[in-house]
Amino acid sequence: MPCKKPAPSPADRRKQDILAILEETYKNSGTALRSQSVFQLLVAVILSAQCNDNQVNRVTGPLFAQYADAAAFAALEPAQLEPYISSCGLYKNKAKNIVGAARIIHNEYGGQVPADREKLMALPGVGRKTANVMLSVGFGLPALAVDTHVQRVANRLGLAQSKTPEQTEAQLCALIPEEKWGDAHHWLIWHGRKICAAQRPKCGQCPAAALCPSALPQKDGGKA
Ligand code: SF4
């Protein structure tokens, strides 16, 4: 007789119910960063560290009109890039990293961003989060990037119990089917931006409040 799969625990059911709510709420969401190519996406993601996506888009519009691909960026000195990106924060480091990455991509990969986590993480300015964004958004490969929003929201909702983005990534990947990893990254980011802010989360407007172990009590008697 075939073995019966054990029934999911109430805790597992709650997590799956939360994910279903997030999927329904944010099903048409994606990245807010504008780009015309995988290389441009990489530049935008590097610029987005400690800078919001709208500001990155304001910067990359004129920047990509002037320098469109890895070859064009590889020919620059970081100091030439700095004036374009100075409103993005940490711009001196970002300029160095973008030009350094462009040179490697131009010289070693024929101008094409590699679709490989190790090779991506060997590029200057590219950590695991950025590599995962590139794999999922840039190449449509299964990867779940954990940024500050994903880390906070996943832990508040009890989808993860972790101190590090790596642990959160592993716990979320164990919970979510592989084909939804990339989408789940966007659900959690948009929930963090719109509702579950770092300071003063809007629990009264949160569609998952009834299932959230971190929901703040509401003035109207707890209804959310
Ligand atoms: S109920 Fe509050 S803490 Fe929980 S996910 Fe919603 S906004 Fe965040």
Verify whether residue 4 is a known catalytic residue: no
Specify the pLDDT at position 4: 72
Specify the pLDDT at position 1: 56
Task: Give the domain ranges of the chain.
Answer: 10-29+144-209, 38-138
d(CA 82, CA 93): 9
Specify the pLDDT at position 223: 37
Domain 38-138, CATH homologous superfamily name and number:
Hypothetical protein; domain 2 (1.10.340.30)
Specify the pLDDT at position 2: 59
Specify the pLDDT at position 3: 64
User: In percent, how much of the chain has pLDDT > 70?
Assistant: 96
Specify the pLDDT at position 224: 39
Q: From the CB of 18, is ligand 1 less than 6 Å away?
A: no
The helix (H) or strand (E) run that includes residue 194 is helix 181-194
Q: What is the mean pLDDT of residues 111-135?
A: 98
Q: What is the mean pLDDT of residues 42-62?
A: 96
10-29+144-209 and 38-138, same CATH topology: no
Tell me the pLDDT tens digit for each residue of 178-215: 999 999 999 999 999 999 999 999 999 999 999 999 99
The pTM assigned to this predicted structure is 0.91
Q: From the CB of 208, is ligand 1 less than 6 Å away?
A: yes
- Check if the beta carbon of residue 168 is closer than 8 Å to that of residue 185: no
Flag whether pLDDT at 220 surpasses 60: no
Verify whether residue 94 is a known catalytic residue: no
Flag whether pLDDT at 7 surpasses 90: no
State in words which class domain 10-29+144-209 has. Answer: mainly alpha
Of the residues 53, 129, 163, 220, only one is catalytic, namely 129
Flag whether pLDDT at 40 surpasses 80: yes
d(CA 203, CA 211): 11
